[in-house]
Amino acid sequence: MTRKNRRRQPGRGALVMIASILLLSAGLRMGDGAGQALALAKDGVEVSPLSEAAPRACETPEDLKRVLAAIQQREKTLTQRDTAIRDRMQALSVAERETDKKLNALREAEESLRQTIAMAESAAETDLGRLTKVYESMKPKQAAALFEEMDPNFAAGFLGRMRPEAAAAIMAGLTPQAAHTFSVVLAGRNANVPKE
């Protein structure tokens, strides 16, 4: 290769210049510190090594002592509050678990009670249906004699459940006073039911 064919690598001159500036700066810094040490030695000032120098006590001003004490007291108070809050959170967590258990037990008991009530209502309805059929099957005069002895509300309940022709035959066998009382009870049973 000839010199003309050799190309210079770009930026190589800049790197050399930056390196030389850094070396010059390091030399100046070293020389500056040495100059101060020499100047102190010339003036007769005795320079002792740092490790031999006695440390001076640094006193805290009173106002800073009060601020520091207040900050320490505040930190202690916050730590106590934090501990109390953690304890409360644990107690609340335990109480919440216990409440959930009790609520679940209450729901189960409620469902069991609902089923028991449904069975009792079903059984009562079955019993009333059977008894109504018994009264319907009786001879009207015999049934009328029984109905005369019943409470008017109780007797009217059975008459309301019976087939109309059976109820009419029993009503025909009643005394006029009993028939009137049963009719009033039957007519007024649903009088107080809301219309809308």
Which pLDDT tens digit goes with each residue over 26-73?
Answer: 777 776 666 666 566 565 555 555 555 555 667 778 888 898 899 999
Contact between 144 and 177 (Cβ < 8 Å): no
CB-based contacts of 91, cutoff 8 Å, min separation 6: none
Contact between 172 and 140 (Cβ < 8 Å): yes
Mean pLDDT (the chain) is 81
Q: Report the pLDDT value the prediction gives residue 177, as an integer from 0 to 100.
A: 92
Please indicate whether residue 98 or residue 62 has the higher confidence score (pLDDT): 98
Please indicate whether residue 53 or residue 82 has the higher confidence score (pLDDT): 82
Residue 98 phi/psi, 5-degree rounding, is -65, -40
Please indicate whether residue 25 or residue 42 has the higher confidence score (pLDDT): 25
What pTM did the predictor assign?
0.40
What's the pLDDT band for 85 if we cut at 50, 70, 90? very high
Q: Where are the domains of the chain?
A: 61-124, 138-188
Share of the chain above pLDDT 90, in %: 26
Cα Rg of the chain (Å, integer)? 55
Q: What angle do CA 138, 143, 148 make, to 5 degrees?
A: 175
Residue type, 182: F
Q: Report the pLDDT value the prediction gives residue 165, as an integer from 0 to 100.
A: 92
Range 88-104 average pLDDT: 93
pLDDT tops 70 at residue 158: yes
Contact between 132 and 162 (Cβ < 8 Å): yes
Range 137-144 average pLDDT: 90
Please indicate whether residue 73 or residue 22 has the higher confidence score (pLDDT): 73
Q: Which two tokens stand for residue 157?
A: 């309940």
Contact between 109 and 139 (Cβ < 8 Å): no
Please indicate whether residue 48 or residue 162 has the higher confidence score (pLDDT): 162
